[in-house]
Structures are given as structure tokens and as C-alpha cells.
Structure 1
Amino acid sequence: MKNLVPNPQLQASRISATISEGFNVTTADGRPARLAIIDEAGNVIEAGQEVAWAAWKICIEVQENFWEGQGHLVVHSSPPGDAALAATLIGKKAA
């Protein structure tokens, strides 16, 4: 399964993970870093531990679904197309 997805070599950062601590992100030289969601215009719309834990939760949930044979290959952090939720997040500053 792992060989079916790309394995890009990051030049300026490192990502690691453990089941109990989730994602750990650093610069290539070991300084602390954080995950962010960036829109198509390059604006950081959300960043920090909340983004890391949301991404980790999605990774765990989709893997568990796969193991259970449920066939749920897509997991969302919130309802897709939820206009009200999207409207509350527009313009929210990154942490």
C-alpha cells in the first residue's frame, strides 16, 4: 500500500509521526515548524497544532476505515460543501 503513493523528498523540512504524538514537523536543520493550509493564492488560512491534529485525525480515520473494509476512502474534517462553516472560516487569521 505504501508504495502506491508518491514519496516526495522534502528539501527544507521534515515530517515524522507517531501514533501517540501525531505529526512532528521541523525545518531541515531541526528547528520547530508547523503545518499550514495555504489557499491557491498563497495565503496562509490556518496554521498550527489544530491543523496538525486535524490532518492526523483524518489519516488515522481513513486508515481504520480501510482496515475495517468499509470502503470509505474519503474522510473530511467537516461536512464538504458546508457553506455556513466555510463562511465562518473565511478571513480567519492563522494561529
Structure 2
Amino acid sequence: MATAKGGEKLDGGVLEHAVIAAQGWEGFTITTDDGHPATLAVVDERGQIIESGPELVSELWAVAVMSYRRFLIKEKALKVWSEPSGLFEERE
């Protein structure tokens, strides 16, 4: 389904208050439903925010792109992930 901004809206979205957009040259953009800037956070099992902000958004984008590139070129990387020491991928 096309949106007024010329993008494509996914059917069946589950978010109630946030808008997440992605463009290949820009990465993820996160806003509130009324258009104000927002960000992502990683929350541990105790409810503590352990990562947040633009660095998290950039790293999430890097992992997503690396995983998708591996898929496109049919490499057998089972998993791509990031941790404090860098980006990694697991192979068969």
C-alpha cells in the first residue's frame, strides 16, 4: 500500500505510538506518531535501559544490512550480530 509520501506502508503493523521508516541511503528513522523525533532502546530483563540513542539505531542498521547482503549473495551466514567488540557473523 503506497503512502502519501511515496513510500510503502506495511500491512499489519503492530506499533501504537511510534513510526519506524527505513531508506537504503539513510538507515532507520524513528518518530512518534505525531512526527516528533524518537529513538530506540534496549531494555534488559530488569527494565534497565542498557543501550539507546543514535549509536544503537546505526548499529541495528549495520547488522540488518550485513545480514541482508549475505542473504542476497547466498552466503551461508547463519547469524549476524554486534557486541561491544564489533560486528560478527556465524557461518555454517
Equivalent residues in 2 for 1:14-93, closer than 5 Å: 14-78=19-83
Structure 1 stretches of 4+ moved >2 Å: none
Choose between structure 1 and 2: higher strand proportion: 2
Tell me by how many angstroms 1:50 deviates: 0.4
Q: TM-score, normalised by structure 1?
A: 0.71
- Normalising by structure 2, report the TM-score: 0.73
| Cα deviations by residue, 1:49-79 (Å, 9 ceiling, x for unpaired) | 1000000000000000001111213101138
Structure 1: which 5+ runs fail to align? 1-6, 80-84, 86-95
| Bigger share in helix | 1
Partner of 1:88: none
* Structure 2 stretches lacking a partner, 5+ long: 1-11, 86-92
Q: Hey, what's the Cα distance between the residues in 1 that align with 2:13 and 2:45?
A: 20
Q: Which one scores higher on RCO, CA 8 angstroms, separation ≥ 6?
A: 1
Number of matched residues? 74
Are the aligned partners of 1:23 and 1:52 in contact in 2 as well (CA < 8 Å)? yes
Report the RMSD for the aligned CA atoms in angstroms.
1.6
